[in-house]
Chain A
Amino acid sequence: MNICMITWEYPPRIVGGIARHCSGLAGALAKLGHSVHIVTLDFPGAPSYEEIEGVRIYRTPIELGHPNFIVWTLIFNHFIEKRVAMLSRDVKFDILHAHDWLVAPASIASKHYLRLPLVSTIHSTEVGRSHGLHNPDSYLIDGVEWWLTYESKRIIVTSNAMKREVEDHFHLPSEKIDIIPNAIDASKYNIPVDRGNVKRRFGIDPSERIVLFVGRLVPQKGVEYLIMAAPKIVERHPEARIVIVGDGWSKDYLLSLAASTGCQHKITFLGFISDQDLIEIMLSSDVLVVPSIYEPFGIVALEGMAAGIPIVASNTGGLAEIIEHDRTGFLAYKENPDSIAWGVNRILSDPGYASWLVQNAKRKIREVYSWDAVARRTIETYERALRE
């Protein structure tokens, strides 16, 4: 099958989970013998075309700019649409696959121009990310999301929670939506690391135990609740260090919040780090906290499970489906620092409990969240879209 996948994020342009999702899925589809073409945006230092493990990646420069973000997205969609049209002269695509609203205009136009079925993965919704629609931009994005679901032959979501959200909010027929979870390449985490050296490299004392957060520093990720939990964690476990990996527009607020906790010296912000460093810091950590207040899936939880770190996650959205409380992780109450601290302290205090969670989580990763399984299910969705 000739697949044209359209996404605004693809490595090394990594913002959230979409880039990792697209590269994992594309690689697995190529391994199954399909021809996968990724049309995405350019990024400093990345080539405009390359082929990685059978996946052909076309990075499209944006030749115009505009200060308004929405207008900017319309402009880059125009350039992506042109790139798809040019490519279609040489490649007879069978299906188009769009990822999120940001590429909706190009994907929908290409669908009509090429007369091909369009499948869309909705990774999250504006109404969910923003806790409602509070400004004109949000209304516009929400409308574009609805438009994409309307124009798509089939919709893919990554969790039951997301299916309910998309079905209810956009009034979609249930049978149009397929749930296909995210996945992870667990083999990346099977490497030896010297935890002491890794900690020293990031300015952390080797005797300290890392309580890790990984993600964008935006309100929906709930980092503030982990920071508010820090005093209760450090009081019980003075050897603990909260390490925050990632960047985002609310970083300054989080820095000032950390300063107000009285244990700022125990909280380290590492900013954005490379994929290799991320794997090494995960393998050197003692607990991974995923304190999201909105999380359609939560791929970082899978990364933690594959790396063998016990997880404390909010009991919300996709996280509540990935994590079985007291079996593959600890589910904390959402927006509740006390509950997060309780979970972290229990894991740090009880190595037997931590080990039990890790063993069960690793088993679940092997059985459920492999890219091969996800690619096969995605092909079924493509075939259904082609038949209908």
Chain B
Amino acid sequence: MSNKTPIPDEIYLLCILHNVGATSPERALTFEEILRWTAMEPPKAEQNLNKLVESRYVEVKEVLGARKYFITVDGIRKVLSMYS
């Protein structure tokens, strides 16, 4: 990977969501679950998640009042582009 363009934080977060299997609405994760997997500071995690949702790499669904996050097909492709 190029040293000139470091991988952005939100892409690391996207990778983690992908690798832990949050790739469908049924396997969506709550914000707290994401924090546990990533060990990110809550404000940073929230900022990165919002950016991923805006870019449509992550979708949010409401389950019993809780927001859950999962990555979209475009998000999966974005992650896989790093390793193919």
Contact = CB atoms under 8 A, between A and B. Distances in A.
Interface of A: 9, 13-16, 18, 43-45, 62, 64-69, 71-72, 102, 129-131, 134, 216-219, 247-250, 252-253, 271-272
A250 B5 CA distance: 7
Contact of A44 (B1, B76, B84): B76
Interface of B: 1-5, 7-8, 11, 15-16, 18-24, 37-38, 73-74, 76-78, 80-84
Given A9-B84, A65-B20, A67-B19, A249 B7 contact: yes
8 contacts: A16-B81, A67-B38, A71-B19, A218-B82, A247-B81, A250-B2, A250-B5, A252-B8
A288 B76 CA distance: 26
B68 to A, nearest CB: 15
Contact of A65 (B2, B7, B21): B21
Contact of A249 (B16, B19, B23, B82): B82
B37 A67 contact: yes
Contacts of A130: 1
A72 B76 CA distance: 14
Nearest to B15: A69
B30 to A, nearest CB: 15
Contact of B77 (A15, A68, A72): A15
A250 B38 CA distance: 21
Contacts of A65: 19-22
A284 to B, nearest CB: 23
Given A9-B84, A219-B4, A249-B8, A272 B74 contact: yes
